[in-house]
Chain A
Amino acid sequence: MTDTLERLELDRATGPVLEQVWRTIVWDDPVNLMTYVTYVFQSYFGYPRDEAERLMLLVHHEGRAVVASGNREAMERHVQAMHGYGLQASVSKADP
């Protein structure tokens, strides 16, 4: 019990750092087929087809979409994977 309380205190103290959220952004590219972008979102991120299509259309119409968020390392891994698949992607810090 004491243990837990201490950990809670610790969490609170380091909270702002841990909570710093980063994002994986995919940018529109007129070259890539819409079906391919949907396929990548489904296959790599494991999104259900509906969600993958929603994100693909967001990229297509808005010029970009946030496809994942979390810690910086994980976002860099995602962006590297997206570049591997030929998608234009970048890492960005979420607005506070």
Chain B
Amino acid sequence: MIVAGRTGSDGVRLVLEAEEAMLLSELADQVDSVLLLGAEDDPALGRLLPNAYPDDADAAREFARYTRGSLVDGKRQAAQSVRDATAVGEGERLVEIELDQVQAWGWLTFLTDLRLILAERVGLGEEGTPEQDEQRDDYLRAAYEWAGFVQGSMLEVLDPTES
């Protein structure tokens, strides 16, 4: 994977191997599914849509009632745009993607949501989590690290004062 600035304009340019693009596309689809189909008590959804009033249940419910729809829409749009941008054509070995500052924001937030979900699924940050399925967890952990690497690389290129 190559992450670089764009010549003559803001934003970022990504070059992904076909396998990387397919992986990202698949992960983006899964994030979209969690947002669309996630059960109310799915802890991963709790990470994406945190409690705005930890000490006031009524205010928390009210806040969720009028923000949840647009938050979910925004996150789903970000995931869908990543999924679409990483579609691999027949026989393609590399996928080149150019993102302007606004599109790059969508990617950054998608990568964050992805990592929040993966962390929740693997139980990262929690001690003494029993290893249920080591192979699956290794895969999720690798995806988590990789998503962090992609995000970190993008942040080295992007200028926050331009968005």
Contacts and interface: CB of A to CB of B under 8 A. Distances in A.
Interface string B144-163: 00001001100110101101
A42 to B, nearest CB: 4
B116 A31 contact: yes
A84 B160 contact: no
A43 B116 contact: no
A84 B52 CA distance: 12
Interface in B20-57: 47-55
Given A35-B152, A91-B63, A83 B108 contact: no
Interface residues of A, number: 25
Nearest to A82: B50
A33 B151 CA distance: 8
B119 A43 contact: no
A3 B140 CA distance: 66
A29 B54 CA distance: 16
B124 A31 contact: yes
Contacts of A42: 160-161
14 contacts: A29-B116, A30-B119, A31-B47, A31-B115, A36-B108, A42-B160, A49-B160, A52-B160, A76-B52, A76-B67, A80-B70, A83-B67, A90-B53, A92-B53
Interface of B: 47-55, 59, 63, 67, 70-71, 74-75, 105, 108-109, 112-113, 115-116, 119, 124-125, 148, 151-152, 155-156, 158, 160-161, 163
List of 9 A-B pairs having minimum Cβ-Cβ separation, nearest first: A86-B112, A42-B160, A43-B160, A30-B125, A35-B155, A31-B119, A80-B67, A39-B160, A88-B50
